[in-house]
Structure 1
Amino acid sequence: MKKGIALISAIILIGITIVAVGIIYNSAVPIVKKLQISGETEKMKQVFNKLDEIVIDVASGGKGTRRTVYLTMGLGRLWLNSSDNSLYWKTETSAKVVSPRTQQKTGNLIFGSNLETYANETQYNGTDAYVLENEHLRVYIRKTGSPQNPEHYKTSDLLLSVYNKDIRKSLDLDGLEISIDSNPLSVSGQGYTVLSEKGKNLPYATVTAYMSSGYIDYYINFTLESGEDFIIIRGGLT
């Protein structure tokens, strides 16, 4: 299938997403299917790299510069998101082309699997916060302190809100408190929170809370993965 796309003088972030549908053993996938999707993926990588070069060239030509590019497509779906100037190609396969929730970046090209997570700084009801969002959840976590200027906080104050898009309802977080060895001295202290990476098209996003309590020093990771309707909370000693 051949499509014509007019490229105007605006830099376009281009991304390739592979969605794994089904968890099966590699040996169970017919070799022909593996070769087909691998070949198509490599072809689209080359196409997107070439498109990136053309877009940069068009952008350097000044206002009103444009060029029409014709693409021959096989598998997958191609679309342009005008709201963020991004061009996407997406295909679904049961063949293991790339590991789930991984990404590779080459210039403006992003290649990966399950890249549905967004993370950024924001405010929630007037409180500085980080937002982690995927297809199912929108999670707000308190932004507090910094490595240079730690602030006092309680673990019960970290998770501000968890909104479930599927049921259109915020989850009840009353009574959610994190402690070490059930010691009451571990639930509060000096520390800070930090976001692992800002942006969109992420495989996952993590906010880490560092705590220096009267009992022990530790950290807590709040992780939201693409495609999941739950938060992963893990911790360890610092």
Structure 2
Amino acid sequence: MNTNDSAATSYTTLRRDSVHEVEIKRSRFITYLFRVEAEAEARTHIAALRKTHFDARHHCSAFIIGPDRMAQRSNDDGEPSGTAGIPMLDALAKRDTGQGSDLSDILAVTVRYFGGIKLGAGGLVRAYSDSVSQALDHAALTTRQRLRIFELPAEHALAARYENELRSAGYQLGDTHWGDAHAVLSIGINDGPAASEQLHTLIATLTSGAGILRASHTTWVDS
């Protein structure tokens, strides 16, 4: 899927990978959280943890990928069906980030070292769900925003002034390309009609109607 074609223009994800451990009735539950952008990347992390924790009984996992959260998978890895992967996935999918339940591009892997006491189906569901929830409580999150990039050709003598005015107005500027005939400014805005209209209005005022904005492409950035 092309993430730039997504209906979502922002979502929440991990700022950095993290790990958190809890002990429940002598069983150790070690939950790793990874930021991932493809299923293959998620499966590479899972395979690596199987090698690292080769002596653990279970390596259960769940992930959500994509701005629209279309890719959602879970694996019980030997635990009774529905007692590990699905509760982990629910903990990710239903997490309230302050902007609703929009957590994505995230993989949770919970490694369990059995402590000799059986937890039962209900106990396992609670243990795996709580392990992921507690790991998220300790994780650093960030908002990922889709930007629409516009280009503005400008005379060399005016380009620096336009840059200063746009930065003062709070716009994100990329590298300016200095050509022989003119400079081209790169301006990033939140990808939406209101922000686009606002930028066009500002450019019209700034250039006395002479400036012509060209829509270039979209990109995702951490805010």
User: TM-score, normalization: structure 1?
Assistant: 0.19
Q: Which is richer in strand?
A: 1
The structure number with the bigger radius of gyration is: 2
User: TM-score, normalization: structure 2?
Assistant: 0.20
Q: Which has the higher contact order (CA 8 A, sep 6+)?
A: 2
Q: Which is richer in helix?
A: 2
